[in-house]
A and B are shown apart, each in its own frame.
Chain A
Amino acid sequence: MSESAAIEYTKVAEIKGPLIIIDGITKASFDELVEIETSDSTRRLGRVLEVGHGKAVVQVFEGTTGLAISGTKAKFLGKTMAMPVSPELLGRVFDGLGRPNDGLPDPIAEKFLDVNGEPMNPERREYPTSFIQTGVSVIDGMLTLVRGQKLPIFSGSGMPHNILAAQIARQATVVGTKEDFAVVFAAIGVQYSEAQYFKRSLEESGALRRSVLFLNLADDPAIERIITPRVALTVAEYLAFDMGMHVLAILTDMTNYEESLLEISAAREEVPGRKGYPGYLYTDLANNYERAGRIRGKNGSVTQVPILSMPADDITHPIPDLTGYITEGQIVLGRDLFRKGVYPPVNVLMSLSRLMKDGVGEGKTRSDHMEVGNQLYDAYSRAQEVRALAEIVGRSGLTGVDLKYLDAGDMFESHFLKQEKDENRGLEETLSRTWDVLSTLPEGELTKIKEKHVRQYYKETK
């Protein structure tokens, strides 16, 4: 923390969207924190984006609405934005800039961490191999989340991604160990009702005491969203690598975050890239996503579940497209399933957890886990093909095996995929349900499962 006094500048040259340009700058550095004082003495925070030729471009987090060229003062604080961290952050609710939002005082800091974090040294990264149970069958059974993984949820407007996110936050746990588990939840540009839902749902389930919430609402200034994932991940890193906890960081909705990046980019008159997003969109996303992982020699882990709504359900949109390059798989929500009333409407055929193979199996979950996951994927894929065929030739034109696949597909959706919003299924129950579905198929169709597992778990129909 800087101990020298700060210089205050009063010469505002220009106000441009979320940016103000200060003139006559003698001392300022890139990313330095700036306190803006308006003519009515209210204070806002900002940071330096560019400095040179006696000018500094400052991005105002709380927006520039109400600021005037005369009467506005900018105090350069000589430090970058830092988040006060301590174990007492657990159970607290903050706004998008990391200020208390629960009526309690500022946290007593054990230390102050730069919100930009530091990229993890790739040499010190440890490969993620341990299972996190979410209590959601489709995720645990087929798209297993592994400690230290980054697994985004691709959704669309109006779909229940936030309900799923809250369910994961309530139910997620590390099974079979006494290690501490925590959830850092960053709501970025969400509606007030959604923010209240997250808060209430964690409070009522008793999960709030192991959670830290950052709530940036839809009516908060868009620029604030630039900081929300950063403060959340800073806290996640502290809890993981200083406190040795296994942290699940849920960031919803990253599309809102990228929209504010676009706003700044447009105000800075940068050359636009795909769909008007800045050319450094990939780098910026990677800066956030790569803060997940495990570090050799340290106990904790940061697992990330960023949620992004795809504009017009377009998976080729730059945000999901570039996210897919960085993350280790994706969970895609399907509108067809949503319309059919299936919750969670996960389209498993478009989803994948790249690290699942390393986090499941003997000694981690159950020896048949990976095989049943693959077989279920295969069976549902075949069921979809048969459904398409049945549309043309009708059920009467299908073979006996095809009809079995049709039944398996229906049972997959109604018995395995579908679950209540507050239903927490254990892994054993999830795997038992996979066998319920697979047992509707003839034994000979289960080609991806070892014979010993088929003998042990296949349920003969009476």
Chain B
Amino acid sequence: MSSSSPLERTVDKVLSQKESELISKIDSAYQESLRNLDSSKSKLNSEYMVIIENAKKQAENLKRQIVGSSRLSARNNQLVLIEDSVKTVFEMARKRLLSLHKEPDYEKLMKQALLNSLNEIGKTDLIIECNKTDSGLVRKLVDGINKEKGTKMVAADENVDILGGIRATSSDGTLTYDDSIDSRIERLKPLIRKNIVQILRGSERESWSQKVE
């Protein structure tokens, strides 16, 4: 007959109690780990989403910056090119204006400029300057106006380097009326530039639409 001793039975009992205790502890630890893992997953997921969201925002900002600055620099290059074309047009116009004195209305224009100078300065004794080509015409017109109006205008002995038109100075040198072609160009330059650019942009658009077609 095999019968265990009370000591052995107690040991077995303690062992089985400990075993079930340990198993339940392991089980609960396992469950807790699963729970932790689950919560970590969602935490990780939300952190991952935040990182991705931030990265997207940063990428979007960077994209905006890069696109913005490239557009700006392309626009600026276009402005420089347009300005070069405007300068070329002005140069061409200046060359053509050198032969303005051959135009039939030029004498009228010069006479009007002389009369304007008398009117604007408000004095009758003026010194009139012009370029070398116009000096003969100016002398003739000055004499004519002096006879007609009783003024004391004189054509200057020395010529000035202008495209055309006149510069009138009062005899005491305190007032100057500049009605040269150069000063007219300078005065109207912003408006002329605008017109040139409109023409350039118009032709750009035309050529672009032709390409598209």
Assess the B187–A3 pair: CB atoms within 8 A.
yes
Assess the A5–B194 pair: CB atoms within 8 A.
no
Chain B residues with CB under 8 A of A6: 178, 183, 187
Chain A residues with CB under 8 A of B173: 10
Chain B residues with CB under 8 A of A9: 174-176
Assess the A108–B176 pair: CB atoms within 8 A.
no
Assess the A205–B65 pair: CB atoms within 8 A.
yes
Q: Contact mask B43-74 → A, CB, 8 Å, 1/0?
A: 00000000000000000010011111101100
Chain A residues with CB under 8 A of B176: 7-10, 73
A-B contact count (CB 8 A): 92
Assess the A84–B174 pair: CB atoms within 8 A.
no
A205 to B65 alpha-carbon distance, docked (Å): 6
A131 to B31 alpha-carbon distance, docked (Å): 52
A84 to B173 alpha-carbon distance, docked (Å): 34
Chain A residues with CB under 8 A of B184: 5
Assess the B174–A5 pair: CB atoms within 8 A.
no
Assess the B175–A109 pair: CB atoms within 8 A.
no
Contact of A5 among B76, B178, B197 (CB under 8 A): B178
A206 to B67 alpha-carbon distance, docked (Å): 8
Chain A residues with CB under 8 A of B197: 108
Q: Does A27 contact B (CB under 8 A)?
A: yes
Chain B residues with CB under 8 A of A205: 65
Interface residues on B, range: 35 or more
Assess the B174–A24 pair: CB atoms within 8 A.
yes
A86 to B125 alpha-carbon distance, docked (Å): 45
Q: Contact mask A3-20 → B, CB, 8 Å, 1/0?
A: 111111111000000000
Q: Does B97 contact A (CB under 8 A)?
A: no
Nearest B residue to A424, CB-CB: B61
With A26-B121, A108-B197 known as contacts, the answer to whether A88 contacts B79 (CB < 8 A) is yes
Chain B residues with CB under 8 A of A321: none
Q: Does A112 contact B (CB under 8 A)?
A: yes
Q: Does A203 contact B (CB under 8 A)?
A: yes
Chain B residues with CB under 8 A of A4: 116, 120
- Chain A residues 169 to 210 lying within 8 A of chain B, measured CB to CB, are 203-209
A207 to B116 alpha-carbon distance, docked (Å): 51
Chain B residues with CB under 8 A of A112: 190
Contact of A109 among B76, B82, B188, B190 (CB under 8 A): B190
Contact of A1 among B75, B79, B179, B191 (CB under 8 A): B191
Q: Contact mask A83-113 → B, CB, 8 Å, 1/0?
A: 0100010010000000000101110111010
A4 to B82 alpha-carbon distance, docked (Å): 28
Q: Does A2 contact B (CB under 8 A)?
A: yes
A38 to B128 alpha-carbon distance, docked (Å): 23
B87 to chain A, nearest CB (A): 9
Nearest B residue to A203, CB-CB: B69
Chain A residues with CB under 8 A of B64: 206
Q: Does B90 contact A (CB under 8 A)?
A: no
Q: Does B193 contact A (CB under 8 A)?
A: yes
Nearest A residue to B67, CB-CB: A206
A141 to chain B, nearest CB (A): 21
With A5-B116, A7-B120 known as contacts, the answer to whether A105 contacts B190 (CB < 8 A) is no
- Chain B residues 133 to 185 lying within 8 A of chain A, measured CB to CB, are 173-179, 183-184
Chain B residues with CB under 8 A of A91: 72, 75-76
- Chain A residues 62 to 99 lying within 8 A of chain B, measured CB to CB, are 73, 75, 84, 88, 91
Assess the A5–B72 pair: CB atoms within 8 A.
no
B108 to chain A, nearest CB (A): 17
Chain B residues with CB under 8 A of A27: 120
A84 to B197 alpha-carbon distance, docked (Å): 14
Assess the A208–B72 pair: CB atoms within 8 A.
yes
B135 to chain A, nearest CB (A): 20
With A5-B116, A209-B68, A209-B69 known as contacts, the answer to whether A88 contacts B75 (CB < 8 A) is yes
B86 to chain A, nearest CB (A): 8
Nearest A residue to B200, CB-CB: A108
Interface-central residue, B61, B187, B188, by most chain A CB under 10 Å: B187
A181 to B140 alpha-carbon distance, docked (Å): 62
Give 13 CB contacts A-B under 8 Å.
Answer: A1-B187, A2-B187, A3-B187, A5-B178, A5-B179, A5-B187, A6-B178, A6-B187, A7-B175, A9-B175, A104-B76, A105-B86, A109-B190
Query: Besides the contacts A8-B175, A110-B194, what 15 more A-B pairs have beta carbons closer than 8 Å?
Result: A4-B116, A5-B178, A7-B175, A10-B173, A10-B175, A24-B174, A26-B121, A26-B175, A27-B120, A73-B176, A88-B75, A88-B79, A91-B75, A102-B76, A108-B79
